[in-house]
């Protein structure tokens, strides 16, 4: 049975393989990212330039830092952060195509950008490697949050920091909604189990705005996606975005978003 379990495909592996091949040359997706996030970093999460800036500010990233991006995709976000701060950014992702694109695109910046194919559950880095580990909308793919955070702690330097953009969702009306609170999310519970104190920044309202913007931008580019043969991206954007008519009070009963910041 153990072997059978190991043979299970990693969640969304096929989708992300297709996604990073398609977005490499998709003008529609590039336009979409520029409209929603102010910059095309091939975002598949919910963090725009302002959210990233907040993370850079609170962690005080600078050119002396070694920083690890968990779930870096094609590395454009890590490259952007390294260009801004001078920090050495390392990125890991489980999609070989995405890592290859990152390596090829940034080969002139190899002194401060390193990309490796790795799973979030197998962070085979040496102890004391990083000042900051961050993750934007990728913790959900960890098989066990506590184990993943324990791995972060092993590879962080003393006084290292963790920054995680994380969303909690609850669509079942009969479900207890307390899990949407910042200290009750599955991630907060795992941080507590690891005896970690954290600050959090609430981006729920911002997420509401971005989710509606995503829907508007996707709809305005529907034909562009279709004509490129990238209907599957359009379909996903529609599923994960929000109708104009949903009001904020309804929305916040289904979803919350926080940036968790841990300082050792």
Ligand X SMILES: C[S@@+](CC[C@H](N)C(=O)[O-])C[C@H]1O[C@@H](n2cnc3c(N)ncnc32)[C@H](O)[C@@H]1O
141 interacts with ligand X by CB under 6 A: yes
94 interacts with ligand X by CB under 6 A: yes
**Which CB, 100 or 137, lies closer to ligand X?**
137
**Which CB, 116 or 192, lies closer to ligand X?**
116
151 interacts with ligand X by CB under 6 A: no
10 interacts with ligand X by CB under 6 A: yes
145 interacts with ligand X by CB under 6 A: no
Query: How far, in Å, CA of 36 to CA of 212, rounded?
Result: 10
* 110-115 long-range Cβ contacts below 8 angstroms, 24+ apart: 112/82, 112/86, 112/87, 112/88, 113/75, 113/78, 113/79, 113/82, 113/88, 113/89, 114/88, 114/89, 114/90, 115/72, 115/75, 115/78, 115/90, 115/91
**Which CB, 148 or 212, lies closer to ligand X?**
148
51 interacts with ligand X by CB under 6 A: no
| Candidate list 23, 26, 43, 212; residue touching ligand X; CB under 6 A | 43
Q: Computed from CA positions of residues 22, 23, 24, 27, in that sequence, does the dihedral angle turn out positive or negative?
A: positive
Shortest approach of ligand X to residue 264 CB, angstroms? 23
Longest pairwise C-alpha distance within the chain? 54
137 interacts with ligand X by CB under 6 A: yes
| Candidate list 23, 29, 44, 48; residue touching ligand X; CB under 6 A | 44
DSSP 161: E
DSSP 224: H
**Chain contacts with ligand X (rule: CB under 6 A):** 10, 12, 16, 43-45, 47, 71, 73, 77, 93-95, 119-120, 136-138, 141
């Amino acid at each position: 049975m153990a072997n059978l379990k190991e043979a299970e495909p990693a969640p969304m592996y096929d989708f992300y393989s297709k996604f990073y091949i398609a977005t490499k040359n998709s003008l529609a997706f590039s336009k979409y990212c520029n409209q929603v996030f102010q910059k095309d970093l091939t975002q598949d999460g919910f963090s725009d330039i302002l959210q990233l800036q907040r993370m850079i500010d609170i962690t005080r990233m600078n050119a002396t830092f070694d920083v690890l991006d968990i779930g870096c995709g094609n590395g454009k976000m890590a490259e952007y952060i390294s260009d801004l701060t001078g920090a050495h950014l390392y990125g890991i992702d489980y999609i070989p195509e995405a890592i290859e694109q990152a390596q090829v695109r940034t080969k002139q910046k190899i002194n401060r950008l390193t990309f490796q194919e790795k799973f979030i559950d197998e962070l085979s880095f040496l102890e004391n490697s990083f000042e900051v580990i961050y993750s934007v909308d990728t913790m959900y793919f960890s098989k066990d949050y506590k184990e993943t955070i324990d791995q972060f702690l092993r590879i962080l330097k003393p006084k290292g920091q963790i920054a995680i953009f994380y969303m909690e969702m609850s669509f079942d009306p009969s479900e207890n909604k307390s899990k949407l609170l910042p200290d009750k999310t599955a991630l907060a519970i795992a941080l507590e189990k690891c005896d970690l104190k954290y600050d959090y920044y609430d981006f729920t309202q911002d997420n509401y705005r971005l989710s509606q913007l995503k829907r508007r931008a996707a709809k305005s580019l529907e034909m562009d996606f279709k004509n490129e043969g990238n209907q599957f991206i359009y379909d996903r954007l529609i599923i994960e975005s929000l109708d104009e008519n949903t009001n904020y009070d309804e929305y916040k009963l289904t979803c919350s978003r926080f940036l968790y910041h841990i300082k050792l």
